[in-house]
Amino acid sequence: MTDVCTGGRLRRWLPFITAAFAILGAAFALAVLPGPPTAIAPSIGVGLLAQLAATVLVARLPAHRHIGMAAVAVVAGVMQLADSPWRTLMVEQGVIWVPLALAWATALVVEDARTPRQLRISGAILLGYLLVVGVRATLDGDSALAAVLSAAGPVLGGVSVSLSRRLRQARRDRVAALARERAAAIREAREQERQKVAAEMHDTLGHVLTLLVLHANALAVTTTEGNARQAAEQMSRLGTEGLAELRQLLDLLGTSGHAPPPEVAELVDEARAAGQSVQLVVAEEFAAVPQSLARTVRQVVREGLTNARKHAPGAEVLVEIEVADTIDVLVRNGRGGPDSGPGNGIGLTGLRRRVALLGGHCEHAPTCDGGYALRASLPAGDSPSADERDGTWTELTHLP
| CA distance linking residue 30 with residue 49, whole number of Å | 15
Q: What is the pLDDT of residues 74-100, one digit of tens each?
A: 999 998 888 888 888 887 777 889 999
Are β-strands 277-282 and 316-323 bridged in parallel, bridged antiparallel, or unpaired? parallel
Query: Which parts of the chain sit beneath pLDDT 70?
Result: 1-8, 200, 202-204, 207, 224, 248, 250-262, 337-346, 381-400
pTM (2 d.p.): 0.44
Q: Say if CB 269 and CB 242 are below 8 A apart.
A: no
pLDDT at 7: 56
CATH number, span 261-400: 3.30.565.10
| Backbone φ, ψ for residue 262 (5° rounding) | -70, 180
Look at residue 318 in the predicted model and tell me its pLDDT.
Answer: 93
Instruction: Spell out the long-range contacts of 392-399 with Cβ–Cβ below 8 A and sequence spacing 24 or more.
Output: 393/361, 393/363, 395/365, 396/363, 396/364, 396/365, 396/366, 396/367, 397/365, 397/366, 397/367, 397/368, 398/368, 399/332, 399/367, 399/368, 399/373
Nearest to 312 by CA among 338, 342, 293: 338
Q: What is the separation of C-alpha 302 from the centre of its chain, rounded to a whole number of angstroms?
A: 36
Give start and end residues of each alpha helix (H) in the chain: 2-32, 37-60, 65-81, 85-91, 97-112, 116-139, 144-201, 207-222, 226-253, 264-273, 291-311, 346-357
Contact partners, residue 201, CB within 8 Å, separation at least 6: 246, 249, 250, 253
Q: What is the pLDDT of residue 20?
A: 92
What local confidence, expressed as pLDDT, does residue 398 receive? 41
Q: How distant, in Å, are the alpha carbons of 129, 136, 322, 325, 390 from that of 386?
A: 68, 77, 16, 12, 6
Q: Are 360 and 377 in contact (CB under 8 A)?
A: yes
d(C-alpha 163, C-alpha 157), whole Å: 10
Residue 115: what pLDDT?
85
pLDDT at position 75: 93
Question: CA–CA separation, 57 vs 60, rounded Å?
Answer: 5
| Whole-number pLDDT of residue 253 | 65
DSSP 347-385: HHHHHHHHHHHTT-EEEEEE-TTS-EEEEEEEE-SSPPP
The residue extents of the domains of the chain are 2-142, 261-400
Q: Which amino acid is at 64?
A: H
| Residue 233 to residue 228: CA distance in whole angstroms | 9
Residues 331 and 317: beta-carbon distance below 8 Å: yes
The separation between CA 185 and the C-alpha centre of its own chain, rounded to angstroms, equals 11
Q: What is the DSSP letter of 261?
A: P
Q: Exposed, middle or buried, 275 (CB in 10 Å: 0-12/13-18/19+)? A: middle
Report pLDDT for 158: 87
